[in-house]
Amino acid sequence: MATMTARAHALPRRHYALFRPITTRWMDNDVYGHVNNVVYYSFFDTAVNAYLIEAGALDIHAGPVIGLVVETKCNYFAPLAFPQAVDAGLRVAHLGRSSVRYEIGLFGAGEPETAAAGHFVHVYVDRATRRPVSTLPPALVAALEPLQVPAWPTP
């Protein structure tokens, strides 16, 4: 028997701990005149990884630990389009032993609610063996703890 899940809703800015600007590009638009759905995932990656690099928590070239995406989801509420500026809201909903659930909200600049909201889960693994780490590196935990907020409440 199928189970019913709650319908997703746009979220307000207060649900996110940190914001960073994302610049849309001409090539992001599709034939329908808005940012193509696959580009939203690129925005998610950019928001998370740019933050981790800037915070000194991720060395993409030589760090012993890397994050692999094992789960992702996005709900779309309103279109974004080039040349619109986008604010990416970021928070950490779960900080585990070897995994992190990032939640990202994409807002048209100045808009009060998400145009899209989603998540992805990174499992952090040893770069050489690709096996999950026994514990997240201290620098990563230090960078992520300030982004922790409670799970999205139902609107």
Q: For residue range 26-40, list pLDDT tens digits in order.
A: 999 999 999 999 999
Within a domain: 14: no
Within a domain: 7: no
Report if pTM > 0.85: yes
Within a domain: 119: yes
Within a domain: 137: yes
Contacts of residue 123, defined as CB under 8 A and 6 or more positions apart, other chains included, come to 67, 68, 70, 98, 99, 132
Residue 155 confidence (pLDDT) above 50: no
* CATH code where residue 53 lies: 3.10.129.10
Structural domains of the chain, count: 1
Within a domain: 129: yes
Query: In the 8-state DSSP scheme, what is residue 82?
Result: T
Residue 150 confidence (pLDDT) above 80: no
Domain span at residue 66 reads: 25-147
- Tens-place pLDDT, residues 63-107: 999 999 999 999 999 999 999 999 999 999 999 999 999 999 999
* Residue 10 pLDDT grade (very low, low, confident, very high; cuts 50, 70, 90): very high
Question: Which pLDDT score, from 0 to 100, does residue 9 have?
Answer: 92
Contacts of residue 110, defined as CB under 8 A and 6 or more positions apart, other chains included, come to none
Contacts of residue 118, defined as CB under 8 A and 6 or more positions apart, other chains included, come to 40, 41, 44, 72, 73, 74, 75, 103, 104
